[in-house]
Amino acid sequence: MSAAAFAAAWLVAAAAQAPTVPEGVHSAVRGPTTICGMTASSVGELRTKVAAAGLHRQDAGPHFEAFDSDMTDREMVQWAFTLPGEAAYPAVTCRHVYKTAGGAWRMERDMRCDASRAACDALFIQFRDLDEQARQELQRGR
């Protein structure tokens, strides 16, 4: 097998094994989106509203701009926006961490991603994995 054929076969196999987001998770968005109680027509407009809401800016590394609310004994809201140059730009995700009436901690995440399906899927999977780690930490903290 030639090097080119091997490389092509490897790329096809890698693409076939790449994790994907199940159908039904996505919905085409045109126009306003409501995420964690904020409504805007674009990721940029959501970023402007979040920045103006008085939330705390967090150091989220070179890939994201992040904000969060104060953690209370009942809830916290975290926002992350991809930065220009990222494959999944523009995108925003919001995680709402809250305590139920029964005292259990829960998390809900919303996301708007206006990049390619592949880039948005990769970002979704990244945050899904982070959420799973956070869920495990919440379970250990009981």
Domain count, the chain: 1
Supply the pLDDT for residue 29. 67
Domain that holds residue 80: 32-140
Residues 94, 96, 97, 103, Cα dihedral to 10°: -160
If one compares 31 and 99, the residue with the highest pLDDT of the two is: 99
If one compares 112 and 138, the residue with the highest pLDDT of the two is: 112
Tell me whether residue 121 is in a domain.
yes
Centre a 10 Å sphere on the Cβ of residue 100 and count the other Cβ atoms it contains: 9
Tell me whether residue 135 is in a domain.
yes
Spatial CA neighbour of 79 closest among 101, 102, 112? 112
Query: Over 70: is that where the pLDDT of 16 sits?
Result: no
Tell me whether residue 24 is in a domain.
no
**What is the pLDDT confidence band of residue 4, given thresholds at 50, 70 and 90?**
very low
Supply the pLDDT for residue 30. 73
Tell me whether residue 134 is in a domain.
yes
**What is the pLDDT confidence band of residue 40, given thresholds at 50, 70 and 90?**
very high
Supply the pLDDT for residue 66. 96
Q: How far out from the chain centre does Cα 6 lie?
A: 35
Query: Over 90: is that where the pLDDT of 38 sits?
Result: yes
Nearest-angstrom CA–CA distance, 41 and 22: 25
Tell me whether residue 43 is in a domain.
yes
- Comparing 24-28, 38-42, 61-65, 79-83, the range with the smallest average pLDDT is 24-28
Tell me whether residue 105 is in a domain.
yes
Supply the pLDDT for residue 112. 93
**What is the pLDDT confidence band of residue 27, given thresholds at 50, 70 and 90?**
low
Supply the pLDDT for residue 136. 87
How many percent of the chain have pLDDT more than 70?
78
Tell me whether residue 10 is in a domain.
no
Tell me whether residue 60 is in a domain.
yes
Nearest-angstrom CA–CA distance, 107 and 93: 13
pTM recorded for the entire structure: 0.79
